[in-house]
Amino acid sequence: MVGLWRTEAYRRLATPLAEVLGAPTAKALVLLKLERVEDLMGHLPRRYLSGTETTELSGLEPGEDVALVAQVANMVAHPAHGGRGSRGRLELRLTDGTGHLRATFFGKDRYLKFWQLQLSRGVKGIFVGKISVFNGELQMSHPNFVMLDEHGTIVGRADETKTSMANRVSRSGLVGIYPATSKMPTWQIAECADLVLELLKGTDDPMPAELRSRLGLPEFYEAYESIHRPESIEAAELGVDRLKFDEALSLQVTMAYRRRDAANHTAASVTRRSDGLLAAFDQRLPFTLTDGQVEVGEEIFADLARTRPMQRLLQGEVGSGKTVVALRAMLAEVDSGRQAVLLAPTEVLAAQHFESLRSLLGDLGEGQVLGAPDDATEVVLVTGSQSAAQRRAALAAIADGRAGIIVGTHALLSETVSFADLGLIVVDEQHRFGVEQRAVLQSRADLVPHLLVMTATPIPRSIAMTVFGDLEVSTLREIPAGRQDVQTTVVQAKLRPGWLDRAWERIREEVSIGRQAFVVCPRISSNDEPVPDGLPDPSVEALYEYLADGPLAGLRLGVLHGRLAGGEKDSTMAAFASGDLDVLVATTVIEVGVDVPNASMMVIMDADHFGISQLHQLRGRVGRGGYPGVCLLVTYSDGTTDADRRLAAVAASRDGFELAEVDLEQRREGDVFGASQSGGRTTLKLLRVLDDAELLTESREIAEMLVARDPDKASDWLADMVTHTELRADADFLERS
Ligand code: ADP
Ligand code: MG
């Protein structure tokens, strides 16, 4: 990556952690998704605790996280009374000369004995934990502790973790507690952060001092230091403000340059014909377009008629009919003698799109074969799992222009597919701004294709504006007539086990009248999560076995998840689509776009593990074929958590936009990119779109000004910000495709 960065700061931030910390440590950090210096520096403490330096027993407050140095004034063990497995209690009275505190350990007798032995060996100890109230008295339960001798040396064998804990809390007034893993506890993360800070020390701040002081933000190194070696909470917060601002500004600067680029680029203009493919298609459409579809269609045709590349985001509920809108735009493009490509996030979806475009087009999409209409074009599919011969044929048709409509995965653009004359790129179910489009922009100097991005994740308008600043937004709000209601019910399986059995019966009923059902599971294989007695393990593999041998015995069951080979996935999906399977037990691979109109029922296991938008998306897979749908949200929880309130909200509303607002409000960090819902990493790392809307707007103004002043990226700082944002967007992209 030599030569990628123009400033020392960005170069150092991009250093792999292995180079600074050594390979074994770096490996343990990878589990936390920390790979580069920047990742670790941006790994923010969840909270701060007061170190021993500043903590006195007399001044403790309930709820506080503290580390304190104290003597054990008194220790009483209360052995377990009951039979096997019952737990006893060890109670200590701690003192430091200023006050007292009760500390309690619970456990089996042999653990109590072990702790008792440990605790009595030193003259004093360091105790780390949270202050709670019990019977009106302050206490700590299960503190982490180490015992010290009269010289302050740790007594007995202390592992690395305990040693670094003791070091840190006794050295500092304030200690960051990081999100950690068992292999990489917070104390070691803090030590790593220390080492990395050494590397960054003395690096020049790439942000001009004048701007920084105007914004009242700390200097680059200072920001990191105040977060990871905190002197005060206020300073740490200011440090985070600086990081957030950097992130917001990078994003906005990148978008400002892109808007500039787009404005400077020329696209081929599309002239609408009354005698072409589009007209023929409209005429034979088996349904009437909704008003929304017509309206958005006009917006798109107006864009396509310009010589500036269209950059439009089309959002609409699952089932709102985005595909038809996109297809009409593609046909207009073909009518003008150019090609259009439709990109889907997965091969399964690409194949589905291919099939549905072909069936919508009929002989209009079969190419210039004997007897075909004059305008007919060819629709081709390009995927990685095709045979070499199929692929060669498709690529040839793309290169010589016979294929007017090309369907593939996002990967298509990064490959060396040569188009005869590509005029329009449609990206389906992609929530991020146009990374793919940029790839094409860079590869073509003369004419740039128009871009239409489609998403079913409803994004409140205000947010779409700030985040997708370089896209214009169209929205399909109504659902085509004939779409049926999906009756959604929460099934509290733990509280009412009978209901889950009833759910399986309900599937049998649907199947008996010729319908099909999805059973969605939160994971492929079982993990350590405990399953309540008498209920089935909700992983795909376990549940499939349970259902096949039990409640759904005799039905034709299939399994679909991401670990299956591509061919197997495709054939299972095809079997389900054609009705050769009754029930598909699957992970959320079916979340996006899968269209099987005959599927009328969905059971979502561990529904409380999913986010609101995701549940809504999943539910959109049923009720598509003119039959009323049923969606059962199964939870094993006790019915009292935030997650349960989410389920209630999903059951109560079918309006995706309304749900999106609820979602944002509930989480207050609505990750509109959907990645946090499925555990991935997002382009926006620290920023929360809702909370930080103001920051995004402010930084957008600053970005506009900076970019207007420096249109050619003469500034190393601006150049590095753009590189940084784009690399990260690419990384996100690769991770997800
Ligand atoms: P989306 O991609 O927005 O989730 P689709 O484009 O896949 O939705 O449309 C869902 C289904 O509705 C498809 O089977 C499609 O043919 C059908 N459809 C689209 N527009 C209409 C309409 N105006 N009237 C009736 N059915 C429609
Ligand atoms: Mg779709």
Which distant-in-sequence residues (6+ apart) come within 8 Å of 573 by Cβ? 348, 351, 352, 560, 594
The preferred substitution site among 595, 598, 613 for testing ligand 1, maximizing ligand atoms within 8 Å of CB, is 595
Is residue 524 helix, strand or coil?
coil
Would you say the CB of residue 323 lies under 6 angstroms from ligand 1?
A: yes
Q: Could you tell me the sign of the dihedral formed by the alpha carbons of 634, 640, 642, 648, in that order?
A: positive
Centroid of ligand 2 to alpha carbon of 319 (angstroms): 7
- What are the residues facing 340 on neighbouring strands? 405, 424
Centroid of ligand 2 to alpha carbon of 726 (angstroms): 27
Would you say the CB of residue 322 lies under 6 angstroms from ligand 1?
A: yes
Centroid of ligand 1 to alpha carbon of 321 (angstroms): 3
pLDDT of 242 above 50:
yes
Q: Between 410 and 579, whose confidence is greater?
A: 579
Q: What is the pLDDT of residue 733?
A: 41
Centroid of ligand 1 to alpha carbon of 323 (angstroms): 7
End-to-end CA distance of the chain: 23
pLDDT of 667 above 60:
no
DSSP secondary-structure letter at 608?
Answer: G
pLDDT of 696 above 80:
no
Q: How far apart are CA 83 and CA 623, in angstroms?
A: 54
Amino acid type, 188: Q
Closest C-alpha among 3, 8, 14, 12 to residue 727: 14
Would you say the CB of residue 534 lies under 6 angstroms from ligand 1?
A: no
The preferred substitution site among 285, 287, 317, 428 for testing ligand 1, maximizing ligand atoms within 8 Å of CB, is 287
Would you say the CB of residue 724 lies under 6 angstroms from ligand 1?
A: no
Spell out the alpha helix ranges (H) of 339-470.
Answer: 347-361, 388-399, 411-414, 435-443, 461-467
Nearest residue (by CA) to ligand 1, atom 24, is 480
pLDDT of 658 above 80:
no
For tokens 């702790």, what's the residue?
115
Angle at 685 between CA 683 and CA 690, to 5 degrees: 95
Would you say the CB of residue 293 lies under 6 angstroms from ligand 1?
A: yes
332 pLDDT tier (thresholds 50, 70, 90): very high
Q: How far apart are CA 361 and CA 327, in angstroms?
A: 9
- What are the residues facing 474 on neighbouring strands? 314
Which distant-in-sequence residues (6+ apart) come within 8 Å of 127 by Cβ? 67, 68, 70, 94, 103, 140, 143, 144, 145
pLDDT of 691 above 60:
yes
Would you say the CB of residue 289 lies under 6 angstroms from ligand 1?
A: yes
Q: Between 437 and 220, whose confidence is greater?
A: 220
pLDDT (tens digit, 9 = 90+) per residue, 703-726? 999 999 999 999 999 999 999 887
731 pLDDT tier (thresholds 50, 70, 90): low
Mean pLDDT of 308-335: 90
pLDDT of 3 above 80:
no
Percent of residues, the chain, with pLDDT higher than 70 = 88
For 695: left if phi > 0, alpha if psi spans -120 to 50, otherwise beta; the answer is: alpha
Q: How far apart are CA 368 and CA 357, in angstroms?
A: 17
From the CA of 621, the nearest ligand is 1
Which distant-in-sequence residues (6+ apart) come within 8 Å of 449 by Cβ? 267, 309, 422, 423, 424, 425, 437, 440
Contact between 226 and 236 under an 8 Å Cβ cutoff? The reply is: yes
String of DSSP letters for 634-664: EE-S-S-SHHHHHHHHHHH---HHHHHHHHH
- The strand pair at 174-177 and 137-141 is best described as unpaired
DSSP secondary-structure letter at 69?
Answer: E
- The strand pair at 100-107 and 422-428 is best described as unpaired
468 pLDDT tier (thresholds 50, 70, 90): low
For tokens 């020392």, what's the residue?
8
Which distant-in-sequence residues (6+ apart) come within 8 Å of 374 by Cβ? none
pLDDT (tens digit, 9 = 90+) per residue, 71-129? 999 999 998 876 666 788 999 999 988 899 999 999 888 888 989 998 988 888 999 88
Which distant-in-sequence residues (6+ apart) come within 8 Å of 653 by Cβ? 659, 662
Mean pLDDT of 325-342: 96
442 pLDDT tier (thresholds 50, 70, 90): very low
From the CA of 593, the nearest ligand is 2
Nearest residue (by CA) to ligand 1, atom 1, is 319
Q: Which atom of ligand 1 is nearest to the CA of 289?
A: 23
Centroid of ligand 2 to alpha carbon of 322 (angstroms): 6
Mean pLDDT of the chain: 85
User: How many angstroms from the chain centroid is the CA of residue 616?
Assistant: 16
Is residue 198 helix, strand or coil?
helix
Centroid of ligand 1 to alpha carbon of 351 (angstroms): 17
pLDDT of 681 above 60:
no
Which distant-in-sequence residues (6+ apart) come within 8 Å of 680 by Cβ? 732, 735, 736
- The strand pair at 583-586 and 557-560 is best described as parallel
Q: What is the pLDDT of residue 74?
A: 92
Centroid of ligand 2 to alpha carbon of 99 (angstroms): 65
Contact between 629 and 484 under an 8 Å Cβ cutoff? The reply is: yes
Q: Which atom of ligand 1 is nearest to the CA of 482?
A: 25
Centroid of ligand 2 to alpha carbon of 618 (angstroms): 12
Centroid of ligand 1 to alpha carbon of 455 (angstroms): 14
Q: Between 439 and 663, whose confidence is greater?
A: 663
pLDDT of 394 above 80:
yes
Mean pLDDT of 390-398: 92
Q: HEC states along 561-606?
A: CCCCCHHHHHHHHHHHHCCCCCEEEECHHHCCCCCCCCEEEEEECC
Mean pLDDT of 193-198: 95
The preferred substitution site among 324, 353, 452, 474 for testing ligand 1, maximizing ligand atoms within 8 Å of CB, is 324
Nearest residue (by CA) to ligand 1, atom 5, is 321
pLDDT (tens digit, 9 = 90+) per residue, 39-48? 999 999 988 8
Contact between 487 and 651 under an 8 Å Cβ cutoff? The reply is: no
Is residue 512 helix, strand or coil?
helix
- What are the residues facing 239 on neighbouring strands? none
Centroid of ligand 1 to alpha carbon of 512 (angstroms): 26
pLDDT of 458 above 80:
no
The two counts, helices (H) then strands (E), for the chain are: 26, 21
In a 13 Å sphere around the CA of 616, the CA atoms on its Cβ side amount to 28
Mean pLDDT of 428-450: 58
Which distant-in-sequence residues (6+ apart) come within 8 Å of 555 by Cβ? 507, 508, 511, 582, 583
pLDDT of 664 above 70:
no
Contact between 390 and 417 under an 8 Å Cβ cutoff? The reply is: no
Q: How far apart are CA 324 and CA 332, in angstroms?
A: 12
Would you say the CB of residue 456 lies under 6 angstroms from ligand 1?
A: yes
The preferred substitution site among 314, 317, 323 for testing ligand 1, maximizing ligand atoms within 8 Å of CB, is 323
Closest C-alpha among 435, 444, 429 to residue 470: 435
Centroid of ligand 2 to alpha carbon of 473 (angstroms): 17
For 136: left if phi > 0, alpha if psi spans -120 to 50, otherwise beta; the answer is: left
DSSP secondary-structure letter at 32?
Answer: T
Q: Between 481 and 576, whose confidence is greater?
A: 576
Q: Between 177 and 368, whose confidence is greater?
A: 177
Would you say the CB of residue 595 lies under 6 angstroms from ligand 1?
A: yes
pLDDT of 682 above 50:
no
Contact between 671 and 664 under an 8 Å Cβ cutoff? The reply is: no
pLDDT (tens digit, 9 = 90+) per residue, 531-560? 888 899 999 999 999 999 999 999 999 999
**Phi, then psi, of 320 in degrees rounded to 5:** -80, -5
In this structure, of 175-184, 208-217, 291-300, 600-609, the range with the lowest mean pLDDT score is 175-184
Q: How far apart are CA 391 and CA 374, in angstroms?
A: 26
Q: What is the pLDDT of residue 469?
A: 61
DSSP secondary-structure letter at 692?
Answer: T
From the CA of 656, the nearest ligand is 1
